[in-house]
Every structure is written in C-alpha cells, then in structure tokens.
Structure 1
Amino acid sequence: MVSEYASNGHNTERISGDLSPSERFLQELLEPADIQLNGCRPWDMQIHDPAVADAILARGSLGLGESYMEGGWDCQRLDQFFHRVLRARIQDKVKPSRALFHTLKARLLNRQTGQKAWQVGEHHYDLGNKFYGAMLDSRMTYTCGYWKKAETLEQAQEAKLDLICRKLGLQPGMRVLDIGCGWGSLMGYAAEHYGVECVGVTVSREQTAWAQQKYAGLPIEFRLQDYRDIDEQFDRIASVGMFEHVGRKNYGTYMDVARRCLKDDGLFLLHTIGTREDASGSDPWMDRYIFPNGELPTISQISRAAKGRFVVEDLHNFGADYDKTLMAWQENFKAAWPDFRYELGERFYRMWEYYLNACAGSFRAREIQLWQWVLSKEGVEGGYKRVS
C-alpha cells in the first residue's frame, strides 16, 4: 500500500531546516554525490515520510528501495540519482547488518540449485508476454543492445544479435545451442539470416509458449529445461543474459556443461552482466523483488571457471550501451503503463521504475559491466579474428 505521504500528490514538501537527526546524517552521506534532501534539482531526493532516513540507514539498499516503493520518497530523475550515488561510492559508507548476512548467505549456500533455478522464471520472466512485449523490441530481446551505429532500440537489438552471429562465425547447416534462450530472439535471427538450426533451453513457461508460436516455421527447438541436463554436441553455443542466474557455486558446472556440449572446433559466446566487486553477493532489494537468487560474476570468477576448460579468445566490454538500453525500456514502460495500471497497481509501477533506473544509473557509473566472452576448447589455430 502506497504511503499516505505519497497519496496526496506529494504536497508534504519539507525544507532542510526541518530535517530530523537521521535525515541530517543521511544528507551528510550524500554530500559527496552532490545530492540534497528536498532540493530542487532533478537528482535530489524529495522526502515525504520522516521514517525514510532510518529505513535507509538500518537496511541499506533494501530500505532505500522499499521506501521508494511505498511512496516515502521521490526523485525526478532516478537514473541520475543512482549514477551520482554509485559514482561517489556512497554504498560503501552504509553497511547494514542485513546486507552482510545476505553476502554471507550468497557465499556459503548454493542458491541456484536445479530446483531453485525455476524460481526466477516464475517470479520475473513469467510476468506476462503482453507486459514484456510493450517494453521490449519486436523480437522481445531482454538483454543489452549494441548502440555503436544504432539510433533506435530495434536497431540496437538487431545489431547485437548480428554481432553475436558474426563473432561465432555462423555458417548454414550449423547446429547452435542457446543456453537461457529467453523469447528466442537470437535463435530466430540466426536461423533467418545465417541458415542454422537451433536448440534453446529456458526455465520460463511464458517465454517458451510465445517463442514456439513466433518461430513455428523455423528449424528451432525450444525446451523447458535446466541447463545442467543438456548432454549433446553442437557446432556453436551462445548464452546471452543467463549467466547472471547461475551463481558462483555452479560456475564450474556451467562451464563443464558448455565444454561437453561443444564440438572440438566450436566456439562458445558468453554474454553476461558483471561487476568489479569480488564476492559481493547480490543486491538485497534486487534479489527480493526482481531476480531471486541472481548473482553478478566478476572477471576473475569467470576466468577461474574457464581455466582448464576453455581458451579465452576474446573479451569485449560494452556496458555503457546497457544504460541506453534500459532508458529505452523505461520510456516504453512508461508509455504503455495505462494498459497495465489496474492489473499491476501503483506499487508495481514504482518497483519497476526503480529497477530500470537503478540499473541504468549503475551502468552509467560503470559500477557494473556487460561482457561478451568468446571461448574455444583448445584455441583457434592461427588465432581468433576479432569482430566488432
């Protein structure tokens, strides 16, 4: 239920002189980011509920996100707010005990077992094809676009799909595995433009139903299956935006699956979001409300998992492009919201707005990255020819 402070059009403006001791402490924390409480700039926080500061100081990321969902505070440009907060590394100054517990849990427990792998499909990806269709491009590509020459979301997503196909050196007649295929955008594009046959696995029933209908006339097989159960060989393997759900306890197993399924002369492209903070676990708010059991890898973690299994042929970082992609999704989401308002409600709107803008700000601050790795089993003879 949205806070009473947000229900009257946010007419409870308060000036800095009215700040409580907790709010004054929060203001001091935010000073390096040049963010003011109840200031007049687009990135300033507008506090409607005096309990917001205590929630943030006690629960960190979780308190910040939940108090926003409840209408306790607002910001005209959330993306700019998060860019400033993360660029100034304010998060390092707020370390609540719950965040520490969450990090330890991620380190010690395997939160991405075969049984738990289905949770993210049910919680996030099965929100509804109509909802995602309104936010994404026409192929329902729910990963970072490639904006090198693109001017629209549609162009950026097609450029990304083509980049992957060219990096893999696809040729007619090849058999391709897509681990975590989503709505099948890569397989559909590859089958249409490169003449390949594809097999894709996903843990989302909604994605599978939509994709099977969309690509009914193409040589594509969609399987509702956990990646650990795949045991057949392919000329090429791609995994786009799925590794974030694997978890550090399973990185080695994931690489073992890819190696056993890849032919000796094949290539494997891994497209994943990553972070520079080793062993940091996942964000508590994001874990609870958006991606259950998700975890962003680091370069060192991926390298260790690939060690002895693959040769790293190429590593490409275009994380800044995810900022543009997320802002395009945010624009589409806001434009389509009247169609979903009564079904999903105001709290969902604030949650999703927070999610998209927080991620955009994180990529803009370069706190998180987008990597494409090209891997081979024994090394490409004569060297891999880089594609961009």
Structure 2
Amino acid sequence: MDSDSSHTATPTASRNRHLLDELLAEADIQINGDRPWDMQLHRTEALDEIVARHSLGLGETYMRGDWSTPALDEFFYRLLRADLQKKIKPFRNLWRIARAHLINLQTRSRAYQVGERHYDLGNSLYQSMLDSRMTYSCGYWRNADNLEQAQEHKLDLICRKLGLQPGMRLLDIGCGWGSLVGYAAERYGVECVGVTVSREQCRYIEETYPHLPIKVHLQDYRALNESYDRIASVGMFEHVGRKNHRTFMQVARRCLKNNGLLLLHTIGKNQRHSTTDAWIDKYIFPNGDLPSNGQICDAAEGLLIAEDLHNFGSDYDKTLMAWYQNFETNWEKFADSFGQEFYRMWRYYLLSCAGAFRARHIQLWQWMFSDRLKGGVTRVV
C-alpha cells in the first residue's frame, strides 16, 4: 500500500467536472473520493495534462505531487482492468507506434544505456530493496512465505528445469548481480559465465563470488560465440527489442552444445502490436520492449523447439510489493542522495507495475527451448 502521506488534498469543490472524472469512474475511481484507491487531486490543471499526455502525463504529474492516492497499486489495478489506456489515444502515440516498428532502438551502441541509467544507480539502493542474493526478477511464491524464500525457490526451479549437473557449463545472458550463477555454481557444481551491460553488476559479481567458478563479462549478448551445455536468460529479454528477437535466438542456438537447453524468463505482453509505456521508457527502462508470445515463437521458429511454457505472472505482484516494502523501510538511508522526486518516481514504478501484474495486463513467462536439429530434451518440473 502506498501511504502517500506527504500531501493533503487541495479543495477542488468548485472545479468543473472533467473528462477524467468520467473516465476514472469507469474504473471505479473517484477524484477526491474517500476510498484508498481514489485520486486525491492537488493541482486542478494536472487533469488536462493527464488527458493530453496520457501515461507520461499521469506519471509526471504524480512525480511533481499534483495528485496522490493512499493505494497506488490498487489505483493501477482498477485503471488497467478497465482498459482506460484504450480510451485516450493522443495523436503523438502514432509516432511511438511507428518508431517501435521501424527503428531498432536496441542496437549495440544503445545496449548499455539501460545499464547506465537504471542498473548503475548504486548497488546499495538495490541491496536495500532486494533479497540477500540481489535477485532482480520475479520470485516463485508457490511454497514461499517471504521474498527470500520466493527467490531461492525461483533459482532452484530454473536449475531443475535446466537439469544442471556437475561439470556442465552454464551461460547466463543478462546475469544481473549474479544470483543465478552464484546459486548454480554453489548448489549444482556447474561452471558459469555471465554477461551484463551494467558496470556495477559486473563489479559486484567479481567481488562477491571470487571463490566460485564464475566469470562475468561486460558485454553485449550479440558478441557471444563460445559453447555451453545450458543457457539461461532471466529478466533480460525485455531489453532485446522486437527487431532483435531473431538475433537473440540465433545467438542462443549458436552457443548451445548438442542436447543443449535454453530457459528464457521474461515479462511479456498480451498483444503483439503494442508499445512500451511512455513513462516507463523515459524514466525506468530506456529502450525496453516487452515481447508477446507470438513474437517469441516467431523468433525461435526453425531454430529452437519450444518444449514448455510456464506462466506465473501473479507472483510478480507479490514480488513487487515486497520490493516496495523494503524500499519504503530503507528510504531514509537514501533520501539526501536521491531526493523526493526520485522517491515518488520509484514508488510509482514499483506500485504501478504491481497493479499491472495484478490486473493481468502483463505476464511473467518461463520458456524452455531445445536445439531443433540436435534434439535436446527437457524435463518439466
């Protein structure tokens, strides 16, 4: 729950009824209502900006403190369940849609931007928010009571799906802070190689796992050319982009040994022809592009066989809410360094995403692929 206690509602009893009143009512949200998910308006002019600039306007007015809500996650759950994003279609979105289809926003020269702007914010910030292994992806909550258990269960699920055994060589494409390679090397006795576009992540892995057979490279995935028994990619495919999905699968096939397996863990969208949320693209994950099921299948066709698809997107709601609680608890350590606008931006990011998964607006998939010609076989656990 988002306390949003730093603002009190500005009296707006005299304001005229706005288009946004009618739209939000379709999602059972009231402006200056008394329920936890209702929007508390602090600057009337923000309503015009939200209508004119859609998700970007909604996020930026929140960051400025123009509106608030005690339960931001529930606000977004209702907003997205009502499909209000389809009711307001500013003309400017036409350019964003065209750009996503015509321009490769995830070229090698741009690949490091998300590392610099998001993952390199500081390891101490992420350490305060994540579990002890620094796992920045969806946990697996089926038999878990807390974040620590959920992330360990997810890592073990991946290792079991891949059938890891001592002596194997595992490649982790987009290895984050090394939670998977650390767990796999320690618990399953495999040799691990990780690649990342974040200098901070690379440094953290080198400092944390010098005693394990782990190598980490600051490298774009397209440069990979060595052979591995197993490949995993956890929470990285969202940065690949539709123009490069096929290239990613070609790299994976090139790097898989005979009977090799690829586990692809990714957030996904429900519709093929949609674009990244403008606010998320500008402030959180530059150049991000969630894949659809169809896009993933297209990319793998003729290269890899899809052996299994596992959806546990509802678990990301719980994961994000746990991250948010950790962030809120530890914020005072970072308040002077990051400032109030960052605080509101980060709360908006975590809680809006939690609401999106709760509404089933986006999904979390684990795909299992085997080499089409070499005949890999997976076992599903």
Question: Where on the TM-score scale, by shorter chain, does this alignment land: which range?
Answer: over 0.9
Distance in 2 (CA, whole Å) between partners of 1:331 and 1:380 is: 46
Task: State the one-letter code of the partner of 2:203.
Answer: A
Instruction: Read off the aligned partner of 1:326 and give its amino acid letter.
Output: L
Equivalent AA in structure 2 for residue 14 of structure 1: P
Aligned to 1:195: 189
Q: Within 1, Cα distance between the matches of 2:273 and 2:198? A: 28
- Deviations 1:234-256, CA, capped at 9 Å, x for gaps: 00000000000000000011110
Match of 2:166 in 1: 172
Select 1:69's aligned residue among 48, 52, 63: 63
Counterpart in the other structure of 2:11: 14
Which residue in 1 is equivalent to 2:74?
Answer: 80
Match of 2:336 in 1: 342
Matched residue, 1:207: 201
Give 1:17-96 correspondences, 5 Å limit: 17-21=13-17, 24-96=18-90
Aligned residues: 378
> Could you tell me how far apart the structure 2 residues matched to 1:367 and 1:25 are?
24
Aligned to 1:3: none
Question: What is the percent sequence identity of the aligned residues?
Answer: 61
Deviations, residues 224-282 of structure 1 (Å, cap 9, x unaligned) = 00000000100000000000000000001111000000012110000000001212111
Residues 263 and 71 of structure 1, relative CA distance in 2, 3 Å threshold: same
The alignment partner of 2:26 has SS state of: helix
- Hey, what's the Cα distance between the residues in 1 that align with 2:76 and 2:56? 14
Partner of 1:33, secondary structure, is coil
Task: Report the secondary structure of 1:115's partner residue.
Answer: helix
Change (3 A) 1:167 1:65: same
Structural mapping, 1:182-331, within 5 Å? 182-331=176-325
Please give the alpha-carbon distance, in whole angstroms, between the structure 1 residues aligned to 2:201 and 2:377: 37
Q: Residue 357 of structure 2 aligns with which residue?
A: 363
Q: How far 1:355 sits from its partner (Å)? A: 0.2
1:382 to partner: Cα distance: 9.8
Map Cα deviations across residues 160-211 of structure 1 (whole Å, 9 max, x no partner).
0000000000000000000000100000000000000000000000000011
The separation in 2 between residues aligned to 1:245 and 1:140, in whole angstroms, is 19
Deviations along 1:295-336, one digit per CA (max 9) or x if unpaired, are 000000000000000000000000000000000000000000
Secondary structure of the residue aligned to 2:153 is helix
Letter in 1 for 2:202: T
What is the CA deviation profile of residues 25-46 of structure 1, one whole-angstrom value per residue up to 9, with x for unaligned ones? 1010011210000000000000
Deviation at 1:379, TM superposition (A): 7.5
* SS of equivalent to 1:124: helix
Query: Where does structure 2 lack aligned partners over 5 or more consecutive residues?
Result: none
Separation in structure 2 between the aligned mates of residue 315 and residue 9 of structure 1, nearest angstrom: 43
Task: Confirm or deny that 1:376 pairs with 2:370.
Answer: yes
User: Partners of 2:130 and 2:15 in 1: how far apart?
Assistant: 41
TM-score, L = length of structure 1: 0.95
Residues 9/339 of structure 1: CA separation in 2 closer, same or farther (3 Å cut): closer
**8 Å CA contact 1:267, 1:374 repeated in 2:** yes
Question: In 2, Cα distance between the equivalents of 1:168 and 1:243?
Answer: 18
1-structure distance, mates of 2:341, 2:82: 29
Is the partner of 2:50 in helix, strand or coil?
helix
* Partner SS state of residue 272, structure 1: strand
CA RMSD after TM alignment: 1.5
Is the alpha carbon distance of 1:299 and 1:9 closer, same or farther for their aligned partners in structure 2, counting shifts above 3 Å? closer
**SS at the partner of 1:268?**
strand
Deviates more, 1:89-98 or 1:336-345: 89-98
CA contact 1:42–1:76 (8 Å) conserved in 2: yes
After TM superposition, give the deviation of residue 9 of structure 1 in Å: 5.3
Q: What is the CA-CA distance between 1:133 and the residue it aligns to?
A: 0.3
Per the normalisation by structure 2, the TM-score is 0.97
Alpha-carbon separation, structure 1, partners of 2:374 and 2:357: 32
